[in-house]
Structure 1
Amino acid sequence: MTITIKHVAERAGVSTKTVSRVMNGEAHVRTAVREAVMRVVEELGYRPNAFARSLSSARSYLLGLFLDDPAWSGYAAGMQRGALIRCRERHYHLVVEPLDTGTDGWEPDLMASIASLRLDGAILAPPLCAMPPLLDMLDGIGLPYVLISPGKDHQRSGSVDIDEEGAAFAMTRHLIDLGHRDIGLIEGIPSHAATPKRRAGFLSAMHGAGLPVDRDRIVPGDFTFRGGLDGGEALLGRATRPTAIFASNDDMALGVSAAAARRGIAVPGQLSIAGFDDGPTARVAWPPITTIRQPVGEMAAAAVDILIDPSYRDAPTDPRFRRELPYELIVRGSTAAPPPL
C-alpha cells in the first residue's frame, strides 16, 4: 500500500496541512507536534511525492550544488555525498552542476540551466564562491545561495567554513614541534579563498617560532597531483632541500610523495609530508598522509540546512546563517622528526 500524507495525519492525530508544514520545514509548528509527526513519518516510511509537492507550491524542492569540476578531487566527492545525504533526509533532491567560468558564454548557459531546473537554492563550492560576477548574477535573479569556504564576500549571504588559517597554523606547528626548521609550502589555486589563508597560517607559525622563511621555500600549486609533483620537484631539486613539505591539499601531498620516490628520498625518514582535507587518498597512501581533517560532508549538509530554513530567504545576511565547523589535525605515518644533521 502506498503511504500518503493522509495516513500520516490520521496516525499523528493532526491535519494534512500540519503534516505538510512539518515536511516543508515551516516555522510556527510546536516542537511536540513536529516530533510526533516525524515519528509517524519514520514509522510508516512516508516519502513525499516531489512532483506533487512542486505543483502545490512555489518550490521545486530541488537544490543545486555548483562545482568548477565535480570530478576534481576527493574534496568535491565528499561535498556531493554530504549534500546528497542531507537532501534525502530533508526530502529534497540535489542536482550537481559543473560550471566553468573560464569559457565564453557561461553566463547565459547558467541562466538557462537555472530557469529550466527551477532551483530553490544553490550551494557554491570554491573557487566559485569567491566570484563576485557569479554572486551578482544570482542576487539579480533572486536565487538564494550559500557559500562554502568563502573569501571576502562572505558577509553577503549564508556561509559554511572552517578556520583555514588556524588549521594551517596547527599543521605547521606540528611539523615545528617534531623538530623541523626548514619547511616548504606548496600553495593552492590563487583564486581559491583558502589559499591566502593557509599561507598566512603557515607564515604565522614559522614567524612565531622565530624561523625564517626563504622565498624559494614557497612554491605555486593548483590542488592537483600534478601540481604537487611539480612543486615537490622544485623544492627537492634545490641545492639544499627542506626536511618537511606542507602541501595545501592531499592530492598535492601525494604528488610530493611521488617526487620524493623519484629521487630515492625516504618518507618520513628523510622528508616529512603533510596535506590538507583528509580525503580518501590520504588514508590509503603509503605512508598514510598526516593532514587536516576538513569536515567537507558536514559543511555541505550545513549548507543544505541553511538553504531550506524558512527564514533564510528573507534574512540571508543574518549572522546565524554563517557557520564555522571544527577541523582536526590527523597525525599519520608521513611525518616524523627530521633526520639528524
Structure 2
Amino acid sequence: MARRRQAVTIKHVAADAGVSLQTVSRVINKEPNVRPEMSLRVQASIDKLGYVPSIAAQRMSGSRSYLILALNDRERTIADWRKREGTDWVDQMLLGGMLTCAEYGYRMIVELVDTHSDHIERELLAAIAALQPDGVILTPPHSQNPLITNLLDEQKISFARIGSLTEGPGFALTMDDERAARMATEHLIGLGHRRIGFIAGSLEYELSAWRVHGWRAAMEEAGLETADLLAEGDFSYASGRNAATRLFDQGMPPTAIIASNDQMALATLETGRERGIDVPRDLSLVSFDDTPIVRFTHPPLTAVVQPIADVVARAVELIIADQAGRDVPDMPVAVPATLVLRSSTAPPRHG
C-alpha cells in the first residue's frame, strides 16, 4: 500500500527560513508589520518547499478566517437545479465572488439557506460557528430578512446586502433595477409602442417593486396609460404563462411586454406563439437577466443584463476593505445594468 505523501506545513517553512511560526503567519496573511527582506526569505522557503497555505494556518493570528460566506435561497435554487431550469445567477455569483476573493487571498463558500425556515437562526449560527467567516454576502430574499441581518449585526460580522434598500446594518448594493426597467421601457417607447405591458416578479423581493416603479415612471413621463397593463408573476415559467394570458386576453392587448425574468419571458414567447402572435412582428418582448438561453430562442431576446458578477465582486471588496479598516463609500452602492438589443423588439405594426 502506497504511503501518503507527507504534507508540507507551516512548521517546515519556519524551520527552512529560520524564523518563528508567527513570522510565517504574518507573511502568509500579508500583514504590514513584516520587514521586506524577511518577507522575501519566507516566500523563498514557501516556493522551495511547495507550501500551500491552509485555512488553519491563515487563522493562526486569530483575527481573520479569510473566508467569505455567500447565502443563496435554498428552496428556489434547489427547485431550479432539480428541474434543470436554473438561471446562471449562482454561476455569475461564483464568477464575481471567487475570483475577487482569490485576488486578496480569501476563499468564498456558498451555503443554501431557506429564508422561510423556523430554524433559520440556528442554521445560520451553526454555519458561522463552523466556518467563522470574515464576512457574509446576502442575496434576495435573505438580504431583506431582519432575522438574518440582525443576527449578523449582533455577531459583529461584516456583511453585504444585495438587492435590498431596507434600513438596517450592512452594505447595501443594488443593480439599479428601477433604472433598468425604465431603460427597457424607454427603448420600447422610442420604437413607437404605446401599450407596453409589464410582468412583475415576486413581491417577496424588493427589486420587483423597483422594476414596476421604473416601468410606470417611464410610461407616465411619456404620457402613456398603465391601467390593465401590469400582471404579477413569481419568476416561475407557469406564472409567466398566466400573466401573459391575462395581458393577451384584454380588449386592447399590449404591443410590447417586459418580463421581469427570463423564465417568464420564455413563457410569454411560447404563449404568444400558441395564439399565432409573432415576435417581433405582432409583439415586442424584453426580458430581465440575460441568461444564456435567451440568446438561442427564436428570435433571440432583447434583455436587461444584470451585472451579478460585478455586484458580488463589489460586495467582496467592501467586506475586505471593512476588515482592513479602510474607508468604504456611502451606501447604497449601485452597479448599473445594461440593455442588450436583439431581434425581439421592433416598431409596432400599427404605430
TM range (shorter): 0.7 to 0.9
SS in structure 1 of the partner of residue 99 of structure 2: helix
How far does residue 81 in structure 1 lie from its aligned partner after superposition?
A: 2.8
In the TM superposition, structure 1's runs of 4+ consecutive aligned residues that sit over 4 Å from their partners are: 2-9, 15-23, 25-30, 43-47, 312-316
How far does residue 56 in structure 1 lie from its aligned partner after superposition?
A: 4.1
TM (norm. structure 1) is 0.83
Residue 83 of structure 2 is matched in structure 1 by none
The answer to whether the 8 A contact 1:295-1:326 is kept is yes
SS in structure 1 of the partner of residue 336 of structure 2: coil
How far does residue 75 in structure 1 lie from its aligned partner after superposition?
A: 2.3
Larger radius of gyration: 2
Residue 12 of structure 1 is matched in structure 2 by none
Residue 3 of structure 2 is matched in structure 1 by none
Q: State how 1:107-146 maps to structure 2 within 5 Å.
A: 107-146=121-160
How far does residue 84 in structure 1 lie from its aligned partner after superposition?
A: 2.0
Which letter maps to 2:64?
R
Which letter maps to 1:52?
A
Residues 37-92 of structure 1, C-alpha deviation per residue, up to 9 Å, x if partnerless? 9x99xx99985332321244332222111111345432233213321222233332
Q: 1:3 to 1:178 in 2, by over 3 A?
A: farther
Residue 193 of structure 2 is matched in structure 1 by 180
Which of 55, 63, 69 does residue 64 from structure 1 map onto?
Answer: 69
How far does residue 158 in structure 1 lie from its aligned partner after superposition?
A: 1.5
Structure 2: distance between partners of 1:21 and 1:248 = 48
Bigger shift: residues 188-197 or 222-231? 222-231
Residue 74 of structure 1 is matched in structure 2 by 88
Which of 318, 335, 343 does residue 333 from structure 1 map onto?
Answer: 343
The answer to whether the 8 A contact 2:196-2:257 is kept is yes
Which letter maps to 1:336?
A
Which letter maps to 1:296?
I
How many residue pairs end up in the alignment? 330
Residue 157 of structure 1 is matched in structure 2 by 170
Matched, 1:49 2:54: yes
Structure 1: distance between partners of 2:307 and 2:30 = 25
Q: 1:21 to 1:221 in 2, by over 3 A?
A: farther
Which letter maps to 1:331?
L
Matched, 1:88 2:102: yes
The answer to whether the 8 A contact 2:195-2:256 is kept is yes
Q: 1:7 to 1:114 in 2, by over 3 A?
A: closer
Q: 1:54 to 1:235 in 2, by over 3 A?
A: same
Residue 287 of structure 2 is matched in structure 1 by 275
Residue 206 of structure 1 is matched in structure 2 by 219
Residue 219 of structure 1 is matched in structure 2 by 231
SS in structure 1 of the partner of residue 153 of structure 2: helix
How far does residue 308 in structure 1 lie from its aligned partner after superposition?
A: 1.8
Residues 122-152 of structure 1, C-alpha deviation per residue, up to 9 Å, x if partnerless? 1000121111221111112222211112122
Structure 2: distance between partners of 1:29 and 1:264 = 72
Residues 226-247 of structure 1, C-alpha deviation per residue, up to 9 Å, x if partnerless? 2222211221123321110111
Q: 1:333 to 1:7 in 2, by over 3 A?
A: farther
Identity across aligned pairs (percent)?
A: 37
Q: 1:93 to 1:239 in 2, by over 3 A?
A: same
Bigger shift: residues 114-123 or 321-330? 321-330
Bigger shift: residues 85-94 or 19-28? 19-28
Bigger shift: residues 318-327 or 58-67? 318-327
How far does residue 182 in structure 1 lie from its aligned partner after superposition?
A: 0.4
The answer to whether the 8 A contact 1:144-1:313 is kept is no
**Structure 2: unaligned runs, 5 residues or longer:** 1-6, 15-19, 81-86
The RMSD of aligned alpha carbons is 3.5
Bigger shift: residues 88-97 or 292-301? 88-97
**Structure 1: unaligned runs, 5 residues or longer:** 10-14
The answer to whether the 8 A contact 2:153-2:169 is kept is no
SS in structure 1 of the partner of residue 125 of structure 2: helix
Residue 195 of structure 1 is matched in structure 2 by 208
Q: 1:3 to 1:106 in 2, by over 3 A?
A: closer
The answer to whether the 8 A contact 1:124-1:148 is kept is yes
The answer to whether the 8 A contact 2:29-2:58 is kept is no
Q: 1:3 to 1:111 in 2, by over 3 A?
A: closer
Q: State how 1:210-249 maps to structure 2 within 5 Å.
A: 210-214=223-227, 216-249=228-261
TM (norm. structure 2) is 0.81
